[in-house]
Copies of this chain bind each other. A is one copy, B any other.
């Protein structure tokens, strides 16, 4: 790890961390998270909100809870997130006809626009972060990550 120290740059050993996949996942994920913020700066759309928009767009009428479960977001935490999206006019929330306890979520035209514009921007940013990886390596990365995600719980 190279670190700035006032005048020059020195190499700092990370110890055990260097060999731990968990550490590198965390750092790489942070790099993407920060870049996401830059990409979406000003739109008010954060990573979680973008995720919800994407899932609702892909599953019109999906329940609030089901959408949360697909994204690993707890019921309780979904409430204010959905409020934000509804208040911003990006998704529509109405009582589900088949189950009056639940909410059916759909994306609004404005939400579709925001999702499309956001996707475009984020893809461009991801290209920069992944510019050192070949197409084959990018596929490999996503494949490896998905196999790790499957280990959840």
If the complex has contacts A12-B66, A66-B12, A144-B141, are A29 and B25 also in contact, measured as CB distance less than 8 A? yes
Residues on B with beta carbons closer than 8 Å to the beta carbon of A21: 32, 126, 129-130, 138, 141-142, 145
Binary CB contact string for chain A from 1 to 15 against chain B (1 if under 8 A, 0 otherwise): 101110000101111
> Out of B5, B62, B66, B145, which one reaches A25, CB within 8 Å?
B145
CA distance A128 to B30 in the complex (A): 24
A119 near B: Cβ within 8 Å? Answer: yes
- The range of chain A's interface size is 35 or more
A20 near B: Cβ within 8 Å? Answer: yes
Residues on B with beta carbons closer than 8 Å to the beta carbon of A152: 27, 31, 34
If the complex has contacts A59-B13, A69-B3, are A25 and B22 also in contact, measured as CB distance less than 8 A? no
A75 near B: Cβ within 8 Å? Answer: no
Chain A residues 132-146 with CB under 8 Å of chain B are 132-133, 137-138, 140-142, 144-146
A85 near B: Cβ within 8 Å? Answer: no
> Out of B1, B15, B51, which one reaches A23, CB within 8 Å?
B51
A interface with B by C-beta (< 8 Å): 1, 3-5, 10, 12-17, 19-36, 47, 50-51, 54-55, 57-59, 62, 66-67, 69-70, 72, 115, 119, 122-123, 126, 128-133, 137-138, 140-142, 144-152
